Every structure is written in C-alpha cells, then in structure tokens.
Amino acid sequence: MILVSIFILLNTLFAQPAQQIANIGDLKLESGEIILNCHIGYQIIGKANKDSSNIIVYPTWFGGLSKDIAGIIGKYNLIDTTKYMIIAIDALGNGISSSPSNYDKKFPLFTIRDMVKSQFHLINKILKIKHLYAIIGGSMGSFQTFEWLVCYPDFIDKAIPYVCSPVRTSSDKLWLNLEKDIISLHKNYDIPEAKTQRIMNMLTAYFSRTQNYLSKEIDTYEFDEYYQKFEAKETRPFSMENRLSQINAMLTHDISQKYNNSLEFAAKKIKAEMLIIVSDSDQVVNPQPAIELSKMTNSELIVLSNDCGHLAPGCNMKKFGEHIAKFLK
C-alpha cells in the first residue's frame, strides 16, 4: 500500500526524465460516472528497441509519483534502462493524473480497475503500444498489476507484483478505514491539513516498518530529532481529498470480483509469467492471498524475511534488483 519514506527523497539526487501529461479524453468509470478530459501523467526512462519488445509499465504506489519511480530506477539501476524502456505511470488520484485536487467539479469515485483502464488508454491509444514485455508494481502498484493481468491477459508477457495482494483482506481494510476515519475527523472538525498529514505520516512510519526495525534504526536518545521531522511541510500534491480517493479505490480491490468472488477462477484468466514478491513481516498488505495465487498459477514466489515490513524491498535494493533482473532475463 504505502511505499514512501526511503523512495520519495531519492529523485532529487538524480537527473529526471521529463514529466509528461496525456489527455485520454472522457473516461467512463465502472460506476457509470465520467472523468471529463481525463489526463494521465507519465515518465519514460530508457528507449524502445526496434520492435518495441522491451517495454515495461510501472504504475505508482499509494501516494507515489512517476518521478519517485524514475528516482529509484536512477539511484539503484533497479531495472536496466540500457535493455528496457520503462513507462512510469501516475495513478488516478495522485495529484498529477486526474485527481480531486486538479478537477473543477466533484471528483467521481473510481476503482483500481478504472486506474488500469486509464493506463491502457494511455499505452494503447495515445502511445500506440500494442504489447508490453512486462509490468511491475509494488503495494497499490501491485493491485494495478494484478488488475492489468486479468483485464488484459494477452497484452503482457511477464509481471512482478511486490509487497502485493490480489484482494484486500479484513486486516488490510481495517488499516484503510482507520485512515479514512482520520480524514473524516479532519473534514468534520476543520483540523488543519498539515496536522492531519503529520498524524498520517506517523501512522505510516509505525505500520510500514516493524517495531524491531524502528527500535534498532532510531536511537532512543535521538528520538526527538526523528519526531520533529514529522512536522516537515508537505510539498507533494497528495492532499487529503486525493488520499481519500485512492483509499476508496483500494478498499474495493479484488480481482475475483468479476469472477464469482473466486480467486481460483480469476487466476485462470492470468496468462503472464509472474514473479510474486511478498514480505513476511508486512503489516500493511497481508501477503497470504498473493502466496495462494502463486500456488494457483504455479508462479515463482519470493518471501522477503527482514524487519522492514511493508518496505522490505527498500532494505536490500541490490538483492531486490537482482531478483527483478533474473526474472526479466
């Protein structure tokens, strides 16, 4: 769900590809409502080969931006840009693509599947790409990855969902509803956005790691300095309304929804080869449904075991990158 902290600050240190915005026209949502003149943000890293057989899509995590993805790729060479062209796509509601904060009407409710539909329009209709070599996504990006695989099963050869789930469990929904209720208090009692963001950031810091990690990495005698960092001014375009829009989308995430609520039935729709990566200490996204799906699809499964919780890939980016490179090759 929330892949922030270590990833977000990296992009300032490296040259960035250009932020691009595509108008995909009016987007009809699952609800029947329409996002008028829907625009989708994206960044392209690397170049397509002669037959465009090396293109990888990388959708953003919860609150993430395409520039964050470009940042981690640049910092860690997470995906070899001399071999692959990566299209990092800003998900609906992140403040770059169409979102409550940049829409002049009441923004309609959308789903993870609507995010994917908008991305398919961008890839297929605007960029004229007819097939993808792979898709990779973590947290909410993995939700989009799984939806891509069941919505457009013939469009992608390989997929790498990480810290992932094909369906939200009750524990996941409890976390999301906690955030949703905090946003309700913010709106109902006119609490300043900066204070609400501070609370959200502290919750994220607590639940996205483990107690062992926090106790080990943050010296108790330096805690006050660490605590003060939560007062930092929010400079990202992820307002409370944007945050709520993506929370509502994640609450409905379930790839089995269209298949009689049977994950096994949905699994039969997936044709791409998958590498599924989960964290056994994840307190934000329950890894069990992804583990079950790996068995149903006979997919490669990697279980990360460390104290880093939901942000486990970031604690050993070199090894994480090696897993990705091996699978893509």
Domains of the chain, CATH where assigned: 10-172+243-328 (3.40.50.1820)
Judge contact between 21 and 74, C-beta under 8 A. Answer: no
Go through 68-90 and write b for each residue having 16 or more CB atoms within 10 A of its CB, e for each that does not.
bbbbbbbbeebbbbeebbbbbbb
Largest pairwise CA distance in the chain: 57
Average pLDDT over residues 67-94: 97
Decide if pLDDT at 201 tops 80: yes
236, pLDDT greater than 90: no
Banded pLDDT at 15 (limits 50, 70, 90): low
- Asked if residue 298 has pLDDT above 60, the reply is yes
Distance, CA of 134 to CA of 55 (rounded, Å): 7
Token pair in block for residue 27: 């987007």
Does the pLDDT value for residue 5 go beyond 50? no
Q: What whole-number distance in Å separates Cα of residue 98 and Cα of residue 225? A: 36
Q: According to DSSP H, which parts of 189-310 are helical?
A: 193-208, 211-217, 223-228, 240-251, 263-267, 288-296
Q: Is residue 10 very low, low, confident or very high in pLDDT (cuts 50, 70, 90)? A: very low
